[in-house]
Amino acid sequence: MRVGVLTGGGDCPGLNAVIRAVVRKGIEVHGWDFVGFRNGWNGPLTGDSRPLGLNDVEDILTRGGTILRSSRTNPYKVDGGVDKIKQVLADQGVDALIAIGGEDTLGVAKRLTDDGVGVVGVPKTIDNDLGATDYTFGFDTAVSIATEAIDRLHTTAESHHRALVVEVMGRHAGWIALHSGLAGGASVILVPEKHFNVDQVVSWVERRFEKEFAPIIVVAEGALPEGGEEKLLTGEKDAFGHVRLGGIGTWLADEIAHRTGKESRAVVLGHVQRGGTPTAYDRVLATRFGLNAVDAVADGDFGVMVALKGTDIVRVKLSEATAELKTVPVERYQEAEVFFG
């Protein structure tokens, strides 16, 4: 058997760990051949591929990013895209695909399965917003990076007695903001799941200043003030219809400064959250996902995604994996004295 592997969407710590696990088990246990398609779905669209052997994955466990590179290509936005993929797979003798990605990548995997291509999905997103799995790899690393940044910002905020607004990733789900804000001792956490009242945020900030503490506000990029609109870096949309968000942190910092008369600064963590060495947790989870994806291919169980349920790795239908996003249940955390706008 010859198996293709690709990574789609945003890069994420742990992608290489999945590739390593897939290739090692596939070769050493099953004797399969592997081909890596470059740049997400653009690889099988254009035939851009490379062989994957044991030597190619020997030292990639700890590396961030993906040796296969990535893109936000949507073959269903390309004329004849599905037929092109089928032809490339036939020409290269590929019997099955393992697609590693988030909502958009797995959405394409689901549609390709419906169109007769054998695909197994592996869930990847730092946002942790796929509803069919308890956790996605990359999330733990992103939270760790954001938490360390917040820890460092506490000291400089206190030194200058200023408010600092930390903008983290999270388009529609505020898991990174929630976990890093809790772990970093933020004064306020703002998530996309609940629109925030600016007056209330300012009140909490002033309360911290009155106690001689420097407030830290953690805000997800997709968070919205009541009656407000998303802050966009650009109005352009990618192949999946997403616009680039960003700027809510700067906007909120300016509002706080204007209303309190106190110095307020914004720190946008951006792609720092995606890069670098994956945590031990993400390496282990990614490896387990990769090993179980190989099992699904061996069983001919296509149209599924491997998922974490409790401590077990299970298989769920790709249709279930992409049915809805997993969002923060804000009401569950109100009782824990967490300040949500």
Binding-site entries for diphosphate: 10
Distances from the Cα of 20 to the Cαs of 6, 58, 62, in angstroms? 12, 7, 10
Instruction: Count Cβ neighbours within 10 Å for each residue of 22-58 and write b for 16 or more, e otherwise.
Output: bbbbbbeeeebbbbbbbbbbbbbbbbebeebeeebbe
CA distance 20 to 284: 12
What residue numbers does the annotated binding site for substrate cover?
125-127, 162, 169-171, 221, 265, 271-274
Q: Which helix (H) or strand (E) holds 2?
A: strand 2-7
- State both tokens at 223: 């968070």
DSSP 307: E
Please pick, among 127, 129, 140, 282, the residue that the annotation labels catalytic.
127
Is 127 marked active-site?
Answer: yes
Q: Do 166 and 216 contact (CB within 8 A), yes or no?
A: yes
Which residue numbers belong to the known binding site for Mg(2+)? Answer: 103
Amino acid in position 286: A
| β-bridge mates for residue 308, sequence order | 313
Binding residues, by number, are: 10, 103, 125-127, 162, 169-171, 221, 265, 271-274
> Which residues have a catalytic role annotated?
127
